[in-house]
Amino acid sequence: MRFGYTLLELVFVLTIVAAGFTVVAPSYRRAHTRLIVRSARESLIGIITRAQALAVVHGGATVSLSVNPGAAWLEAGGEVGDTLSLTALGVAMELSGGRPQALLRFNSLGIGEFAGQTVGLSRGSARAGLIVSAYGRVRRW
């Protein structure tokens, strides 16, 4: 009767597992990077949506976007609300027209009062973004 495994069997199984990880790791890293960029985009959309809702309550709201450092924050009722640090996520932001900053203002009806804005987000080769119309509608890309 035999109990356990030989050292040769364990080394063989560990070699196969290690080979599998080397094949899977690069695609996992790419997928992880894409998810981080998409998550940053969805967080930014959440801040914009919340600004529209708070604009109705407080009579107006503003979302400030800054390229360097990559950040977005919401101001409503004289207070800073939600903030998003893209630099902490390793995500770079690019605004339309190459501008370093942009303000998205919403009136008391939650309607935008600004020129349309395209926001590109990137990390490595992963890219995602959104287009905010002059009225505040958001479209992902």
**Average pLDDT value for the chain:** 93
Q: Look at residue 1 and tell me if it is in a domain.
A: no
For 72-82, what is the mean pLDDT?
92
Confidence of residue 3 (pLDDT cuts 50, 70, 90): confident
**Structural domain harbouring 128:** 7-140
**Residue of higher predicted confidence among 77 and 109:** 109
Q: Look at residue 128 and tell me if it is in a domain.
A: yes
Q: Look at residue 64 and tell me if it is in a domain.
A: yes
pLDDT for 58 equals 95
For 45-60, what is the mean pLDDT?
96
Sign of CA dihedral 101, 128, 71, 77: positive
Q: Look at residue 16 and tell me if it is in a domain.
A: yes
Cis peptide before 69 (omega within 30 of 0): yes
Instruction: Identify the burial level of 8 via C-beta atoms within 10 angstroms of its C-beta, where 0-12 means exposed, 13-18 middle and 19 or more buried.
Output: exposed
Confidence of residue 22 (pLDDT cuts 50, 70, 90): confident
Q: Look at residue 79 and tell me if it is in a domain.
A: yes
Judge whether residue 1 has pLDDT over 80: no
Judge whether residue 140 has pLDDT over 90: yes
Find the CATH number of the domain harbouring 45: 3.55.40.10
**How many domains does the chain fold into?**
1
Q: Look at residue 30 and tell me if it is in a domain.
A: yes
